[in-house]
Amino acid sequence: MHIQAEGTAIKPVRLFRINTGSCNGCDVELAVTSAVTEFDVEQLNCRYTESAHEADIVLVTGPLTVRAREEVLRLYAETPREKVTVAVGVCPVSGGVFRGSYAVDGPLERYLPVDVNIPGCPPRPQALLAGIREALEIRHARHEGGEPKRAPGDRKQSDTDNFPARGRLSFDAGACVDCRMCRHVCAAGAIRFEEGENGVRLTLWHNSCVFCGLCSYYCPTGALSVTGDWRLDHPAAHTFRQVERGEVPYAPCAGCGEPIIPAAPQLLHDAFRRPNPDIERLKSLCPACRQQMSIGVPRR
Contact residues toward ligand SF4 (CB under 6 A) are 169, 176-182, 185-186, 188, 190-191, 204, 209-215, 219-221, 223-224
For residue 103, CA distances in Å to 175, 180, 189 come to 39, 28, 17
Cα 181 to the chain's mean position, in Å? 19
- Helix 25-35 to helix 125-144 angle (10° resolution) is 80
Radius of gyration of the chain (CA): 24
Residue with smaller CB distance to ligand SF4, 253 or 267? 267
Task: Report in angstroms how near the CB of residue 102 gets to ligand SF4 at its nearest.
Answer: 21
Residue with smaller CB distance to ligand SF4, 243 or 293? 243
Residue 52 is which amino acid?
A: A
As separate numbers, helices (DSSP H) first and strands (DSSP E) second, the chain gives: 10, 15
Start-to-end Cα distance in the chain: 78
List, in sequence order, every residue forming a beta bridge with 200; answer none if it has no partner. Answer: 195, 248
Residue with smaller CB distance to ligand SF4, 57 or 188? 188
Give exposure, 65-89, as e/b (b: 16+ Cβ within 10 Å): beebbeebeebbeebeeebbbbbbb
Residue 171: closest CA among 210, 215, 234: 215
SS3 content of the chain, % helix, strand, coil (to 5): 35, 20, 45
Residue with smaller CB distance to ligand SF4, 33 or 221? 221
Residue with smaller CB distance to ligand SF4, 87 or 90? 90
Residue with smaller CB distance to ligand SF4, 140 or 201? 201
Task: Report in angstroms how near the CB of residue 8 gets to ligand SF4 at its nearest.
Answer: 47
Task: Report in angstroms how near the CB of residue 9 gets to ligand SF4 at its nearest.
Answer: 43
Residue with smaller CB distance to ligand SF4, 12 or 220? 220
Task: Report in angstroms how near the CB of residue 253 gets to ligand SF4 at its nearest.
Answer: 19
Task: Report in angstroms how near the CB of residue 287 gets to ligand SF4 at its nearest.
Answer: 16
Task: Report in angstroms how near the CB of residue 249 gets to ligand SF4 at its nearest.
Answer: 13
Task: Report in angstroms how near the CB of residue 200 gets to ligand SF4 at its nearest.
Answer: 8
Residue with smaller CB distance to ligand SF4, 125 or 246? 246
Q: In sequence order, which residues have a C-beta less than 8 Å from that of residue 197 and are 6 or more positions away? A: none
Task: Report in angstroms how near the CB of residue 194 gets to ligand SF4 at its nearest.
Answer: 13
- Cα distance between residue 229 and residue 234, in whole Å: 14
Q: In sequence order, which residues have a C-beta less than 8 Å from that of residue 224 and are 6 or more positions away? A: 169, 170, 171, 172, 182, 204, 215, 216
